[in-house]
Amino acid sequence: MLGVRLTFAKEGRALFISHLDLMRCMSRGICRAGLPVYYTQGFNPQPYLVFSPPLSLGYGGAAEICDFSLLDEGYPVEEVVARLRAVMPEGVRPIATAVPVHKLGALALADWEIRVGAGMTAADVAAARDCLDAPEILVLKKSKRGEREVNIRPMIASLTAAEEGGALVLRCRLPLAGENALNPKYLVEVLGRSLPQFADADFFALRTAFYLEDGTPFC
Amino acid sequence: MLSFEQILKRVQKPAYYTGGEYGSVVKEKTPDLLRYAFCFPDTYDIGMSYLGGKILYGLINSMDNVWCERVFAPKDDMEALMRENNLPLYGLESLDPIREFHLIGFTLQTELSYTNILNMLDLAGIPLLAKDRPDPFPLIHAGGPCAYNPEPLADFFDFFIIGEGEEVQPEFIRVCQQFKEEGGSDKRELLRRLAAIEGIYVPSFYDVTYHEDGTIASFTPNDPAAKSTVTKRLVQNIDEIYYPDKVVIPFADVVHDRVMLEVFRGCIRGCRFCQAGTIYRPVREKSPAVLDRCAQTLIDNTGYDEISLTSLSTSDHTRLMETTDQLLSWCDPRKISLSLPSLRVDNFSTELMDKVQRVRRGGLTFAPEAGTQRMRDVINKQVTEEELARTCRIAFEGGWLNIKLYFMIGLPFETEEDVAGIADLAQMVVDTFYRCENRPKGKSPRVTISVATFIPKPFTPFQWAAQDRAEQVDRKIALLRDKIRSRKIVFNYHDRKASYFEAVLARGDRRVGASILRAFELGAKFDGWESHFSLDLWLKAFAETGIDPDFYATRPKARDEILPWDFIDCGVSKAFLWRENERAAMAAVTPNCREHCAGCGADRLTGGYCHARG
Ligand code: SF4
């Protein structure tokens, strides 16, 4: 069996589809592409696909991941992406296919680009940076075990702030998996709570890259 | 004001409103492009499951210089945000407001969607009444089964399409293209040209007068372009007619998300309550080779893993075994399952069951429709108790445990005995299980009885019949409930009181349009949803517009009465329907078309040849 890792973008009209919708879409696309894909066994066989962690509704992904296996060991992996490109809807855009190096389970961190608000000035950007630079940032964080107050400051691995086209653009690296996973919405929430110019500000979060625990780019 | 993205973030089902699905068609906006909005007056998940929509979408988009887009009814949360933020109803492909389009077509699948139509026009910013739209475009029209009595909607639509759309759609679109190219601006002139096309009905070209008792006195053309009779369109060669080779694949979960393969159109049976059984006559089958080719193309182009063989009664296809064998020969290795949703009790076989079962297993559904043999003879549903027992035995021995049985209550000539018979029949199915030698050991069966209130429909032998009053129905339901003894029987009855108003709309005339408008103004929409429907609201609307709902629903109609839909020739003659009505009164069975031609008249539209008789 041949493992294949597809990198794809989730964008445009597909921003608002759920993870389940995405899984269905990918599975059908792989069938349309006529790839000799490996199916799950059992009563209701489906192409066996594994994805990078779900994006919230409305978030984009510039380098999302879908792993699957081909039954034909000798299948040219590079060709897979071309075949998929021809049969995917515009918002789910195949970028590349390769043989996976790391295990999907080893995904630990993700880079995000978060665009917040409109009509922002340099002063607003500085204020935002200071706000997110505070030694302690407490938020009410939802998890499987309920809501609790957490200091998210130590979770932010890196963060820059800039003004681009009138929006505040935060680029940051946040934990992706497990108990500490941090949704970028919490950063926006903190800004909205602390600074009047960000109250009710709209935002768009784009996940741009994945890393291992030690910061090695995931591939 | 919120932006489109901001609105999407705030709704429950954003994927219903964004389009961009695989298979959706995008065309370049050139000046000679004719824009067409195909509107389904219900939500996305329901509309995207509708086969006719897929056919017409593909067909219209296969034409040059025409761009057909899909439009569905937004759910409450989306509608509120659209109104608050002045976002007019738009086409899912371009996201452009449909009021800028040339043609806006609605499909009429149920009377319960009529207020949704008005709501959608209102959301689009288009005047609801045809007389308030002086310009030729957007031209608003409708087709589909409910267009066989278009009269309640006569005030709103510019024209109706009576019959099957595949041939007539391109014809009238071309007329509109021509008119647009000429730079025409006289709407009446355009409607005249359209009225010349067979199957097109322009309601404003007719005047109706009434007798003192409220019945119709005359129905006459007021324009030389209008024909006195509008004859339905039907596809002559079903094997050669357009069938989509690809369809839009929704991102979101929809009701029917699979390849739908229409195996034939029409029905050989002649159930006396069934409108579809009349209006799609005569039956026309697709050949196994064509079906196999369509199925392969669609599976390749969609990536679906299921094919559903659809028709009014799939097991009546004369070459069904051959077709399923051919399909299974490649579906099995490709892990594609077959489903046959409409099976009959009387020709269900182990062989057929195996084919469906090979891949997936749910419950089995059958529709005896009535509880006693006498009542089944009245409605001409030719299913016997022995056949049902035999079928259930096959199913139980094959490992099925859940059987669902559909019934109607309030049928013409129904007695208490007939109602009680429903419980007896379900009990018989339960007993059959315990009498099966090879029944699944240690398990018990579950028999669900699903009961619907009968609604008399135009173009059926019961079109003259009175609908049961609510008290009568209540009494019958109580009686039936009381008769059910076994815990293995589940009784399903949703008393939505909606069937009463549905009956008014189904057999209404032009005057009922005012009530629909009033009901919409009072807030009616999604009348098919229990959460939204309010009978009180409708009663208020009827009262305020001077409509007596009983006149339409519970009053038996006289043989010589002019019915609002009499100007339509659907092939099947009124004389035949009356004959069938009389036979129903005698509980006399009329054999199916393959056994014996009953002379319904539908073969006039197919040059005297009828596939059913061979
Ligand atoms: S013409 Fe005869 S066989 Fe054909 S549909 Fe009518 S009754 Fe049936």
Ligand 1 centroid from CA B127, angstroms: 43
Distance CA B163, CA B567 (A): 14
pLDDT in tens, B158-189: 999 999 999 999 999 999 999 999 999 999 99
| Position A16 pLDDT exceeds 80 | yes
pLDDT at B137: 97
The DSSP symbol for B467 reads P
Residue bearing tokens 């994945």: A210
What is the Cα–Cα distance from B429 to B423, expressed in whole angstroms?
Answer: 10
Q: Which of B573, B610, B611 to mutate to test the pocket of ligand 1 (most atoms within 8 A of CB)?
A: B610
* Phi, psi angle pair for B323, to nearest 5°: -65, -50
pLDDT tens-digit series, residues B228-243: 999 999 999 999 999 9
Which residues line ligand 1 at a C-beta cut-off of 6 Å?
Answer: B 281-282, 593, 597-600, 602-603, 610, 612-613
Alpha helices in B303-415 (DSSP H): 320-331, 350-357, 373-378, 385-397
What are the b/e assignments for A4-26, b being 16+ CB within 10 Å? bbbbbbbbebbbbbbeebbbbbb
pLDDT of residue B434: 92
Domains and CATH numbers, chain A: 2-100 (3.30.70.580), 107-211 (3.30.70)
d(CA B123, CA A172): 42
**Please, which pLDDT band fits residue B346 given cuts at 50, 70 and 90?**
low
For B309-326, the pLDDT digits (tens) are 998 888 888 898 899 999
CA distance B278 to B573: 10
Lowest-pLDDT choice from A6-20, A175-189, B417-431, B575-589: A175-189
**Predicted local distance difference test score (pLDDT) of residue B427:** 95
Q: How far apart are CA A91 and CA A11, in angstroms?
A: 5
User: What phi and psi, each to the nearest 5 degrees, are found at residue B533?
Assistant: -70, 135
Q: Is the pLDDT of residue B588 over 90?
A: yes
The distance of Cα B481 from the centroid of its chain, to the nearest Å, equals: 30
In this complex, which of B19, B252, B303 lies closest to A28 when CB atoms are compared?
A: B303
Q: Which residues of B586-603 are buried (b: 16+ CB within 10 A; e: fewer)?
A: ebebbebbeeeebebbbb
What is the predicted pLDDT for the residue at B496? 66
Q: State the DSSP code for A117.
A: -
Residue nearest to atom 5 of ligand 1 (CA): B282
* Distance (Å) from CA B571 to ligand 1 centroid: 10
| Ligand 1 pocket mutation, candidates B268, B269, B593, criterion most atoms within 8 A of CB | B593
**Cα distance from A213 to chain B (closest Cα, Å)?**
32
pLDDT (0 to 100) of residue A177: 77
Instruction: Report the pLDDT value the prediction gives residue A195, as an integer from 0 to 100.
Output: 93
Tokens standing for residue B198 = 């067979």
Q: What pLDDT, on the 0 to 100 scale, is given for residue B543?
A: 97
- On average, the pLDDT of chain B sits at 93
Mean pLDDT of B179-201: 97
The first and second tokens of residue B23, run together, are: 């298979």
User: Mean of the pLDDT values across residues B332-356?
Assistant: 74
Q: Cβ separation of B14 and A87 shorter than 8 Å?
A: no
What does the pLDDT read at residue B313? Answer: 85
CA distance B402 to B488: 10
Average pLDDT on B246-255 reads 94
pLDDT at B359 over 60: no
Taking the CA of residue B268 as reference, the ligand 1 atom at the shortest distance is 8
Alpha-carbon span B602 to B604, nearest angstrom: 5
Please judge whether A31 and B15 are an interchain contact, meaning their C-beta atoms are less than 8 angstroms apart. Answer: no
Residue with tokens 């107050």: A149
Determine the pLDDT at residue B358.
Answer: 47
Interface of B with A in 326-345 (CB under 8 A): 335
Distance from the CA of B574 to the center of ligand 1, in angstroms?
A: 14
Average pLDDT for B463-482: 94
In the reported structure, the alpha carbon of residue B604 is separated from the centroid of ligand 1 by a whole-number distance in angstroms of 10
Three-class secondary structure of residue B87 per DSSP:
coil
Partner B contacted by A31 (CB < 8 A): yes
ipTM over 0.90: yes
Which pLDDT score, from 0 to 100, does residue B360 have? 43
Query: Residues A56-88: pLDDT tens digits?
Result: 999 999 999 999 999 999 999 989 999 999 999
Taking an 8 Å cut-off on Cβ atoms, the answer to whether B20 and A12 are in contact is yes
Question: Residue B607: is its pLDDT beyond 50?
Answer: yes
C-alpha–C-alpha distance, residues B442 and A153, integer Å: 59
- Mean pLDDT of all residues in B549-570: 97
How remote is the C-alpha of B118 from its chain's centroid?
19
Indicate the residue of B3, B20, B253 with minimum beta-carbon distance to A13.
Answer: B20
**Cβ neighbours around A114 below 10 Å, total:** 24
DSSP structural state of residue B75: P
Mode of pairing for the β-strands spanning B159-161 and B139-143: parallel
Mean pLDDT, chain A, rounded, equals 93
- Residue A179 confidence (pLDDT) above 80: no
Ligand 1 atom with least separation from CA of B611? 4
A204 contacts on B by Cβ (under 8 Å): 5
- Cα–Cα distance, A99 to B239 (Å, whole number): 46
Measured between beta carbons, the chain B residues lying within 8 angstroms of A89 are: 20-24, 249, 251
Question: Does the pLDDT value for residue A181 go beyond 50?
Answer: yes
What percentage of chain A exceeds 90 in pLDDT?
85
**B311–A contact, CB cutoff 8 A:** no
- Listed in sequence order, the residues at least 6 apart from B292 whose beta carbon sits closer than 8 Å to its beta carbon are B323, B326, B327
Q: A16, B18: Cβ pair inside 8 Å? A: yes
Nearest-10 Cα torsion for B142, B146, B150, B151? -140
Antiparallel, parallel or unpaired: β B103-107 and B34-40? parallel
Mean pLDDT of B475-499: 90
Nearest CA distance, B47 vs chain A (angstrom): 18
Predicted confidence band of residue B495 (pLDDT cuts 50, 70, 90): confident
CB distance A21–B8 less than 8 Å? no
* Domains, chain B, with CATH or none: 4-231 (3.40.50.2300)
